[in-house]
């Protein structure tokens, strides 16, 4: 469940970043999201069972991978055919 939540979060943010044509969104949004998710993982990691706490690093890595893949996909999707 942890992996699903983090991967959908990363995919959603990546799609917004990739679909945006504003460079400010691509440069500001990912660090803000990383800061917020890191804080949530830190605070949420204190009061959870040990099994779930061990899954947090994998969930964060999966979130970053999904963020990158979704950004790449949406950039390709929104490009005009002449751009590469």
Domain boundaries, the chain: 2-76
Q: Rounded to whole angstroms, how far apart are CA atoms 69 and 65?
A: 6
Q: To the nearest whole percent, how much of the chain has pLDDT over 70? A: 90
Task: Read off the pLDDT of residues 22-46 as tens digits, 9 standing for 90 and up.
Answer: 777 777 777 877 787 777 777 766 7
Q: How far apart are CA 21 and CA 83, in angstroms?
A: 14
pTM: predicted TM-score of the whole model, two decimal places: 0.66
DSSP line for the chain: -HHHHHHHHHHHHHHHHHH---HHHHHHHHHHHHHHHHHHHHHHTTSS-HHHHHHHHHHHHHHHHHHHHHHHHHHHHHS-TT--
Residue 49, token pair as written in the block: 């069972």
């Amino acid at each position: 469940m942890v992996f699903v939540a983090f991967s959908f979060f990363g995919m959603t943010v990546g799609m917004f970043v990739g679909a945006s044509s504003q460079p400010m969104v691509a440069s500001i949004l990912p660090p803000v999201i990383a800061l917020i998710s890191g804080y949530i993982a830190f605070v949420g990691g204190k009061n959870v069972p040990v099994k779930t706490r061990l899954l947090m690093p994998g969930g964060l890595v999966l979130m970053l991978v999904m963020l990158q893949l979704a950004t790449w996909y949406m950039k390709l999707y929104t490009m005009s055919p002449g751009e590469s």
